[in-house]
Amino acid sequence: MTNEELQQLIMKISENVFNKPFVHDAYFNARLITTGGRYMLQTHHIQINPKSLECYGMEELEGIIRHELCHYHLHIEGKGYKHRDRDFRELLKMTNSPRFCANLESTKKKRRRIQHVYGCISCGQLYRRKIRINTTKYRCGKCSGQLSKLEL
């Protein structure tokens, strides 16, 4: 789906569900990591995470659009547009919009494994590192002994 198609979809949903026009810009933003969409207060633009469409399909995308349009229309009208406001929660219920989007796979933290283990030849102190170090340049912090890479 292109940005132009997204713009048309949002304009159509705004007219059909809210009976109000959407007159600002809407586009995909791949830099959104933890959220499905974002409404910009200053510019009134709506940004959508393209991964939400890829991972969960058109139904999830339309839910995110309805949610962001709730922010949009309430903010334009000068009503409570924040998640905690009563106006916002009531409009979510009236338009059958989701309060939260589905968790994106990219939000799950990937645990980095320790790849390199070094040991002091003199005292046996162990050092776990993510990045390889030069054993001729560095010494043991405990006894100043020579370090050697240990195989796992």
Catalytic residue IDs: 68
Pairing, β 37-39 against β 46-48:
antiparallel
> Own/partner pairs for 22-25, CB < 8 Å, 24+ apart?
22/46, 22/69, 22/72, 24/72
Angstrom distance (rounded) from CA 146 to CA 152: 19
> Own/partner pairs for 140-145, CB < 8 Å, 24+ apart?
145/120, 145/121
Residue 15 φ/ψ, nearest 5 degrees: -70, -45
Amino acid at 134: N
